[in-house]
Structures are given as C-alpha cells and as structure tokens.
Amino acid sequence: MSKSFHPPKRTLMGPGPSDVSPRVTAAMGAPTIGHLDPAFVGLMDDIKGLLQYAFRTKNKLTIPVSAPGSAGMESCFVNLLEPGDKAVVCQNGVFGGRMKENVERCGATAIMVQDDWGKPVDPNKVEEALKANPDAKLLAFVHAETSTGARSDAKALTALAHQYDALSLVDSVTGLGGIELDVDGWGIDAIYSGTQKCLSCPPGISPVSFGERAVDVIKNRKTKVQSWFLDMSLVMGYWDGTGGRTYHHTAPVNSMYGLHESLVMLAEEGLEKAWARHAYHHQALAAGIEAMGLRFVVDQEYRLPQLNSVTIPAGVEEAKVRAALLNDYNLEIGAGLGALAGKVWRIGLMGESSCKTNVLLCLGALDAVLTGMGAAINSGRAVAAANAVYKG
Amino acid sequence: MSKSFHPPKRTLMGPGPSDVSPRVTAAMGAPTIGHLDPAFVGLMDDIKGLLQYAFRTKNKLTIPVSAPGSAGMESCFVNLLEPGDKAVVCQNGVFGGRMKENVERCGATAIMVQDDWGKPVDPNKVEEALKANPDAKLLAFVHAETSTGARSDAKALTALAHQYDALSLVDSVTGLGGIELDVDGWGIDAIYSGTQKCLSCPPGISPVSFGERAVDVIKNRKTKVQSWFLDMSLVMGYWDGTGGRTYHHTAPVNSMYGLHESLVMLAEEGLEKAWARHAYHHQALAAGIEAMGLRFVVDQEYRLPQLNSVTIPAGVEEAKVRAALLNDYNLEIGAGLGALAGKVWRIGLMGESSCKTNVLLCLGALDAVLTGMGAAINSGRAVAAANAVYKG
C-alpha cells in the first residue's frame, strides 16, 4: 500500500526549480475554488496585471499558460507559425535546439544561426541570416540560456528582427525577474517564461506575452493553430476580461494561487531591486568559486547572475559530488546538459535561492566535498572570499 | 499594490473542480524539490503504480501529463494520428466536438457519429460508421460526458472498435474513480482523464494510459508528433524507470504531490467502494431533486452518478440561482454548457464532494433559493426525500 509522501527539505541551487517561499507553498495549499468563480476571475485579472509589471509591458495578451515552460515555448511557435513559414532560430545551447524542433513541427523551416555553447548569440551572424532570408517571419532566440548561463542581447536582437521586418520571439524562462527585461521598451513581440526560476514558484505554469504585431499575426492566420490546448484565439476567450469568460480548459487553480503570491512578493521587493539582488549574490558566489580555483564557462560580460556554469576539477566524478551535496547537505546543484553534460555544474541563484545563506552553504559544502575527495582545488578559501564581498 | 489572495471556502458541486481534501492541499503545500531529485523519481514511480490501480491496467505507459485534461486529450490524438488518417468520433455532448477539433488539427479526417445530448453513444450507429470506413485508425468516444451527465458503454464500444480493427480512444475525464472503468478488462487502447473530478485533486494534471497496440502505433509513426511538449516518445524518457531519467520538461512538482495524495486516498478507500459511494449519494440527491419536482436530462439507466444535469424550473433566471447559492451558501453548482447552456444545472457529486453533507446542503439551499424566488417547485420536500434514502 502506498503511503503519503513527505518530501525532504532541500536547498535548491540547480537550474530550477529554485527555493520556494513558504508564502507561496502556503498559497498553493489554500482551498480550491472553481475556475469560473468570480473570486478566481478576480485573481486572474490580478495575475495578468502582475505579469505585465514583471515583463514591463502593457500587452493585453499577457497570461500564464496552464502548463510548464516547454508548453509556453510551444504556444509561441504554434500560434505564430504556419506551414511553409520560415524562421531564423539562434542556437547557443539546449533551448535553441528545442526551438528548432518546434519550428519544424509547425511545418515551417528553421534557418539556424549557431554560436558556441557558453557564448551569447552573435548579432552579426543574425543580421547575415536575416539579410539572406528576407521572407523570415520571425527571429527566435534565448535571452537567458539555462543550459550554459549565457545572456544574449535581447534588445539588440529584437531591433535587428524589426529592421528586417521579422517578429522577435524570446525565451526568457530563466531571465524573468532575475535580469533586466523590458518587453515594451525593447519591442519584443512574443515572449515566454517559467515560474520555477527567478519567480521562485513551483514549476507548472508558463507566463507568456504577445504584442500587437503578434496578435495581428494570430488573428490573420490562414490555418488553425495545430494545438487546440494552446490556441491563443481560444485561450484569450477565457483570460480576456471583456464580455465574460468563456470556458476553454480548466485552469490549474492552486498553481495560480502560488504564481500570484510569488508575483506579489516580486512587486513588494520591486523589479529593479530583484535584479540587483541577483547580481549582488552572484558576485559573492563568483568570488568563492574563483578562490577555489574553479572557472566559469561564460565570460563575465555575458554571464547570467542566476545561472552559474562552473567547470569540474580534473579527475573528479561530478555525479558523486552532486550526490554528496544532496545526501549530506540536502543541497541540489545541477548537472550539465546537452553538449556540457559531464563537463560543468550549474549552480542556480534564482529568486529566493539568491541569498547570502545559500551562497555560503553552497561554497562551504562544495569546498568540503571536493576537499574530501582530494580534488585539486584551493581548499578553505571559498567562504572567506564570498564573505569579503558581503563585507564590501 | 496587489495583496495576497485568500480564497473563500466553497463547497464545490459543479462539473469540477470538486472538493479537495485538506490532505491533498496540505500535500501540495509541502516544500518543492527538484524534478530529477531521487526522492521525486520515487514519487513518480509510486504515482504510476497508483494510476495503474485506478485505471485497472498494467500498461507501462500510464503517466500523468503535466497539464490539464484538454492537454491529456490532445496527447492521445497527436500521438496516435498522422496527417491523412481517419478517425470515427462519437459526439453526444461538448467533448466529442472537442475531439473532432483535435482530429482535424492533426491533419486527419473525423467521421462523426452524432447522438442527442443527454443520450449515450449508440453502438449501432458506431458499427455502421466503422463498417463504412474500414480504414478508420481509431474510434474515439467519451465514457462520461461532463456536459450532459451521460455514460456510454465503453466496454461495448471498445469491442466494436477492435472488431473493425481500430484502436479505441476514450475520454474518461469525469469517469475515473467515479464509475466502473476497466482499461485492461475492456481492452481500451488509449485513455485520458483529469485530476479535478472524481480524484478530487486540484485541476492541472491529466492522467493518461496507452496500451501496447497504441504504443506500437506511436513507435511506427512516419511523421514526428506535431507537439513537442506532448510527444510521448520523448515524455516516456522522463517517466520511464529503465536506464535513468532523461530531462524533457520540468514536471509540476507540487501538483504531483497533490495527485499522489489523492491517489493514496483512493487506494485506501478502494476503487469499488469509491464507485459504490458515488452511486449511493446520487440516489439520495436524485430523490431530493425529484421530490422538488425537477427532472434529470439523462435517463436513469445511462445517468452518471457524479454529474447530474437537472432541468431548470420555468420562469427562473438560472444564473441568479447560481449566484444566490454561491453568495449565500458558498455553494458552487455548474451552468449548462454548449447546447444545454441556460437549460440545465450541472450538479457534481465527484470524489470528496460525493458525501451526505454536500447532498443535504445542496438540496436545502436549492430549495430555499428557488422557493424564495417563487419558482414552481414542491417546496420543503427535498431534504426529507434524501434523508429517507440515507435511512434506508
């Protein structure tokens, strides 16, 4: 007979999910109400407004898709692309590859712009691709590559897309709430994110936002969107406040409670302060990592403060290190993904996880475990280096 | 500034979500852990086993899709159909129409078998359609029509599908846990359900199960599944225990806690006992409804105990009645949907909602509200009639 599950209490410093505030888990555990209850409809409106704040947009079609980030990605592609369309897709990590899959499954063609993993997307290559493909409907790229920790210049890339009359479609799953993002200021046409990164909410929901140009494209489609569940022309009828709500699917009510609370917390802190906090604790972590003698995969200029890809010392079995951190310290850090599997660790400082106690725990535990395994690191220096940053 | 949300405490007797046990909401509010954490992987295995129990199947590919029931429906269609395929689709309510949408968005053709709303699917018509379309790849129908409250004979319809060499694809969103369902005994090839009906879990997850024949079809596809997020050949790599877990998407961790607890509770009660409980409380509700002089849309023989479509007395503004129940009694009942909009109420007795206190509250409150509005009902008899059933 199966028994009730009682999860261990972990500190989450992987690539997401990040630590979730007790305020958010408590909100998720509140009593369920109906998805058409007037009280829930009010909550939906509040969530839309809070997401507009977080994305810095006035886009009316700014909503949480009722499924994880992968579905948010898919909702952007399937609504904007039709069979025969062409899209320029930038790949500098795992998620550009997933974008390619999405484009092709829409019956469209993906023109790939490749950059090394750990590097940002190169605007020059993008411009060449856009110039060579004047019929490209959109430019898709990842703002914050979760698989490497590299930040690309979403503002410059969006401007290029517009210069060549293409829409910009942006993955900011790991960016939202952690680094500067200005959907309206930069003119981003479609963007998706996730809840389990810098919003510090459990995984399962994907905030998206579509600008006017993108909505026009959706409204003027020749073919139906291939996904009924993700068809924005239908989803809008449920999330749009005008003229009553039309039932489309049953929204994940309690997950929306959690998302709402996490967004309220973000608004309480203030968006710019949250960005600054992510930058600050990254500095301390970086000082410790470098004092240990480990290196970052991404150059400082392009490094995401919330996702730190760190090289593994020679001769160390990386999975054993992660297992020791998990078993002896209840600390989760991430493995490498795709081309970086087995080559790096990914240390997340996202949302609630971006705090002094986590930085010190991570450095102290990593130092102890690596030293215990006889790894070639500078033992005993990491925590002091981080504390020096905190002392100013 | 937005504030924390505190939902009202409702009694949920609509078409879902149903009342959620405090055990389940407490489970959802437990600390988040990683989606690749060994403790979470153990939970995933436990959920698979519990779903096999609930579906009565040994199907290895029995998993919870990380999105609501509509995505569960879509996962069945997009994995089994390819462009140019043909499917026989039965429609006797809203959800057969949604199946048609899914078939067509796969580039396949839907051969429709229509029955009146409130009636079960007619096996004779289905046989005619299968006979006339020997190339039909599958037969799709709704076991428990949430929009009307009619139960169709899933066993007979599945046998017909197999007789004509088609797969059976079954919607049992409202059926699972509430009425007899025997996936292996009846030979169902693909089935999807939802968490927010008779499992009494918050909405957001869709249990699905695919049998061997269906898995063979998926493995031998000529084209890629049009949805990356719902591609079972990829999802399997994450949920399959053999050879380690491959990251596909980030599972909604806390929602899985809730689903697990609700399935533990179902196993504690026992599946047959849960079915019997649903039948029992329906009898009491029906006695009260009929004593009031209201009628059921669905004949007793085909009536779902968990979803009661009840006619609205002449001259009554139905939305005002629902508003009064919600505002004065914190009681939610459902409106009609599609062809039955404005014509019926849908009273759910699903999962935790299927209990004596809810039956008496609903009858007592409905009696009071309708009497207060001067509706032509037999006032003051409903609760006594239900109590007579409970007394035996």
**Does the structure show a pLDDT above 90 at B367?**
yes
User: In this predicted structure, what is the pLDDT of residue A245?
Assistant: 74
Distance, in Å, from the CA atom of A187 to the CA atom of A190, rounded to the nearest integer, reads 9
* Cβ contact, residue pair B2, A194, below 8 Å: no
Mutate to test the interface with A, among B1, B228, B248, B340 (most CBs of A within 10 A): B228
Please tell me which of the candidates B1, B203, B257 has its beta carbon nearest to residue A5. Answer: B257
Give the model's confidence band at B237: pLDDT under 50 very low, under 70 low, under 90 confident, else very high: confident
Work out the average pLDDT over B90-98.
97
Q: Do A224 and B28 touch (CB under 8 A)?
A: no
Q: Do A105 and B248 touch (CB under 8 A)?
A: no
Average pLDDT for chain A:
96
Read off the DSSP letter of residue B353: G
Is A33 close to B332, i.e. CB distance below 8 A? yes
Residues from chain A that touch B105, judged by Cβ atoms under 8 A, are 224-228
Q: What is the pLDDT of residues A99-158, one digit of tens each?
A: 999 999 999 999 999 999 999 999 999 999 999 999 999 999 999 999 999 999 999 999
The answer to whether B261 contacts A5, with C-beta atoms less than 8 Å apart, is yes
CB–CB contact B252 A68 (8 Å): yes
| Residue-level pLDDT at B47 | 97
Provide the pLDDT for residue B103. 98
Residues of B in contact with A75 (CB under 8 A): none
Whether B243 shows a pLDDT value over 80: the answer reads no
pLDDT value, residue B160:
98
Q: Hey, of A229, A234, A247, A261, which one would you mutate to test binding to chain B, going by the most B CBs within 10 A of its CB?
A: A229
State whether A2 and B264 contact (CB < 8 Å).
Answer: yes
User: B204 vs A20: CB contact, 8 Å cut-off?
Assistant: no
Q: Which residue from A50, A70, A102 is facing B249, i.e. has the nearest CB?
A: A70
Q: What is the pLDDT of residue B240?
A: 77
Interface test with B, best of A1, A2, A12, A353 (most B CBs within 10 A): A2
Contact A229 B69 (CB under 8 A): no
pLDDT at B1: 76
Reduced to 3 DSSP states, what percent helix, strand and coil does chain B have, rounded to the nearest 5?
45, 15, 40
- Interface mutation target, options A228, A259, A266, chain B, most CBs of B under 10 Å: A228
| A15 cis-preceded (ω within 30 degrees of 0) | no
- Tell me what pLDDT residue B238 has: 82
Mean pLDDT of A346-360: 98
Of the partner residues B16, B20, B70, the one whose CB lies closest to the CB of residue A229: B70
CB-CB under 8 Å, B43 with A23: no
Tokens read off for A328: 């002896």
Nearest residue of B to residue A194, measured between CA atoms: B250
0.90 surpassed by pTM: yes
pLDDT tens-place string over residues B271-286? 999 999 999 999 999 9
The C-alpha atoms of residue A59 and residue A48 are separated, in whole angstroms, by 10
Task: Note the pLDDT of residue B392.
Answer: 86
Mean pLDDT across B22-50 = 97
The CA distance from B187 to the nearest CA of chain A, in Å, is 26
Mutation pick from B10, B47, B229 vs chain A, by most beta carbons of A within 10 Å, is B229
Per-residue pLDDT band for A355 (boundaries 50, 70, 90) equals very high
Closest approach of A95 to chain B, Cα-based (Å) = 11
C-beta atoms of B105 and A20 within 8 A = no
Lowest mean pLDDT among A150-164, B233-247, B326-340: B233-247
ipTM of the complex: 0.97
Residues of B with Cβ-Cβ distance to A98 under 8 angstroms: 228
Smallest CA–CA distance from A261 into chain B, residue: B4
Per cent of chain A over pLDDT 70 is 99
pLDDT at B241 over 80: no
Q: Minimal Cα distance from B254: which residue of A?
A: A202
pLDDT band at A242 (very low <50, low <70, confident <90, very high): low
> How many contacts does A have with B, using Cβ atoms within 8 A?
261
Min distance A42 CA to chain B CA atoms (Å)? 10
Q: Check CB contact under 8 Å for B6 and A30.
A: yes
Q: What is the pLDDT of residues A289-314, one digit of tens each?
A: 999 999 999 999 999 999 999 999 99
**More reliable by pLDDT, B125 or A1:** B125
Distance from CA of A333 to the nearest CA of B (A): 10
The amino acid that residue B76 corresponds to is: C
pLDDT value at position A96? 96
Structural domains in chain A, CATH included, are 21-267 (3.40.640.10), 271-391 (3.90.1150.10)
| Secondary structure, 3-state, B200-236 | CCCCCCEEEEECHHHHHHHHCCCCCCCCCCCCHHHHH
pLDDT confidence tier of residue B247, bands split at 50, 70 and 90: confident
CA closest to B268 among chain A residues? A1
Nearest CA in chain B to A249: B70
Q: Are residues B39 and A3, on separate chains, in Cβ contact within 8 Å? A: no
Which residue in B has a C-alpha nearest to residue A23's C-alpha?
B4
Q: In whole angstroms, what is the distance from residue A345 CA to residue A111 CA?
A: 30
Contact check, Cβ <8 Å, B202/A254: yes
Residues of chain B with C-beta less than 8 angstroms from the C-beta of A49: 2
CB contact under 8 A, A250 and B17: yes
Angle at A373 between CA A372 and CA A375, to 5 degrees: 110
Q: What is the mean pLDDT of residues B277-304?
A: 98
User: Best residue in A249, A347, A353 to probe B by mutation, most B CBs within 10 Å?
Assistant: A249
CB contact under 8 A, A254 and B255: yes
Task: Fill in the amino acid letter for B309.
Answer: S
Supply the mean pLDDT for chain B: 96
Question: With contacts defined as CB-CB under 8 Å, which chain B residues touch A27?
Answer: 4-5
- Chain A contacts of B254, Cβ < 8 Å? 25, 28, 202, 204, 255, 258
Cα separation, A238 vs A248, in Å, equals 6
DSSP per-residue letters across B277-316: HHHHHHHHHHHHHHHTT--BSS-GGGB-TTEEEEEPPTT-
CA distance A195 to A174: 9
**Mean pLDDT, range A44-60, rounded to an integer:** 97
Q: How confident is the model at residue A236 (pLDDT cuts 50, 70, 90)?
A: confident
Q: What is the 3-state secondary structure (H, E, C) of chain A?
A: CCCCCCCCCCEEECCCCCCCCHHHHHHHCCCCCCCCCHHHHHHHHHHHHHHHHHHCCCCCEEEEECCCHHHHHHHHHHHHCCCCCEEEEEECCHHHHHHHHHHHHCCCEEEEEECCCCCCCCHHHHHHHHHHCCCCCEEEEECEECCCCEECCHHHHHHHHHHCCCEEEEECCCCCCCCCCCHHHHCCCEEECCCCCCCCCCCCCEEEEECHHHHHHHHCCCCCCCCCCCCHHHHHHHHCCCCCCCCCCCCCHHHHHHHHHHHHHHHHHCHHHHHHHHHHHHHHHHHHHHHCCCCECCCHHHECCCEEEEECCCCCCHHHHHHHHHHHHCEEEEECCHHHCCCEEEEECCHHHCCHHHHHHHHHHHHHHHHHCCCCCCCCCHHHHHHHHHHC
